A and B are shown apart, each in its own frame.
Chain A
């Protein structure tokens, strides 16, 4: 249970970090942010990076900045930054504050980072599901320059993303949802703080008593989180009532291709998604 040898680098700026990653990616150089996923995998020696580039000493990465319709979350913003009062206004801030309480335990949230969770891309990551639901954008930098990756292109499978080995995720941007957006999040895990077996995030607005702009994203059930178009179609234009929620939940559970593992069958995850979708929608109401 002791990590293998590596060389340690602590750059003082994003430029230096990106340059180092560019040089060291070929020797399995990796970015170290909160370390709450990377360090355990190193303890098990599942990961044995040759170099760690520690970005915790780069002050500019620790900030959340709000522009008129977007919020930008720097690479070292911790999970705990979204608890309690935050600088993020409106339903987006409230939603992030709800979701964060489902992430691991408090001491993990003190260290772990939002962007680290996105870079790690565990299927049961609450932030990955949130970014998929809100169509967030990933800002990636390498010595070749900066690019923006949409959520739909970003998640590619279990712990697999569109990031290249020499690309650093410097920030994630989320839209600020309209003020009348209603949001619900529901996940299930066997014990509080465990990895979720499935989760559903639902948002919508009401126009003349009918559902508008519905978003339903499923995480944890499939290899990667995504919005479920079939479920959203079942909601659009409907009254916000249990019957419509049930039809959307049914559509979500039918549309997914659930993972199977030693504890959870595909049929169980499908049933779970139906229940969670219904509850997330009811919470949003």
Chain B
């Protein structure tokens, strides 16, 4: 029985040809094999959301998928947010509103918030809070994360 399968993963628009065991989760392959360590591993069983990435534009837990399942899909991670030296508006808002302390949960929160607002810029405030409850943060008490995401949502609506 051959242990490894050759797959191509597209991370932030770049193809990575890697050989992995089927049991290797997507987050492990993104970090170990594709070298993109911005995505963090927290609980490894889908509870904390630290490993949230965008898969074809939708936020998903990358610890709850096997990498072999992600072939042909567009993977976006925190490394893909900034444009050259310019931070993504969500990253800037997290800085401006002090929405991070230790920063461990931040990549997951950024991808969650970016993914949801890209799809649904008009999301209601109650639903936005519900979405942000998906991920765990042990430092901030969430209030500054909420402020940051609300400010980006307001800017997006004003810009239209």
Chain A residues packing against B (C-beta within 8 Å): 1-8, 10, 32, 35-36, 39-40, 42-44, 52, 54, 56, 80, 101, 105-108, 110-111, 191-193
CA distance A7 to B23 in the complex (A): 8
> In chain B, residues 4-48, which have Cβ atoms closer than 8 Å to a Cβ of chain A?
5, 21-25, 28, 44-46
> In chain B, residues 56-73, which have Cβ atoms closer than 8 Å to a Cβ of chain A?
58-61, 63-66, 68-69
Q: Is B134 at the interface (CB under 8 A from chain A)? A: yes
Given A3-B23, A3-B25, A39-B64, A54 contacting B69 (CB threshold 8 A): yes
CA distance A56 to B73 in the complex (A): 12
Q: Is the CB of B134 within 8 A of A8?
A: no
Q: Which of the residues B25, B64, B112, B133 comes within 8 Å of A193, measured between beta carbons?
A: B133
Give every chain A residue within 8 A of B45 (Cβ-Cβ). 1, 39-40, 43-44
Q: Is the CB of B64 within 8 A of A105?
A: no
CA distance A134 to B19 in the complex (A): 46
A-B interface pairs (CB < 8 A), number: 87
Q: Is the CB of A107 within 8 A of B61?
A: yes
Interface majority SS on B: helix, strand, loop or mixed?
Answer: mixed
Q: How large is the interface on B (under 10, 10 to 19, 20 to 34, 35 or more residues)?
A: 20 to 34
Sampled A-B contacts (25; CB under 8 Å): A1-B44, A3-B25, A5-B3, A8-B5, A8-B22, A35-B64, A35-B65, A36-B46, A36-B61, A39-B45, A40-B45, A43-B45, A52-B22, A80-B58, A105-B49, A105-B131, A106-B59, A106-B112, A106-B130, A107-B49, A107-B59, A107-B112, A107-B134, A110-B58, A111-B60
**CB-nearest residue of chain B to A39:** B64
CA distance A42 to B44 in the complex (A): 11
Give every chain A residue within 8 A of B25 (Cβ-Cβ). 2-3, 39, 43
Give every chain B residue within 8 A of A5 (Cβ-Cβ). 3, 21, 23
**CB-nearest residue of chain A to B57:** A110
CA distance A168 to B159 in the complex (A): 49
Give every chain A residue within 8 A of B63 (Cβ-Cβ). 39, 43
Q: Which 5 A-B pairs have the closest CB atoms?
A: A105-B134, A8-B22, A40-B45, A1-B44, A107-B59
CA distance A64 to B53 in the complex (A): 27
Given A44-B45, A107-B112, A111-B65, A4 contacting B23 (CB threshold 8 A): yes
Give every chain B residue within 8 A of A42 (Cβ-Cβ). 23
CA distance A193 to B130 in the complex (A): 9
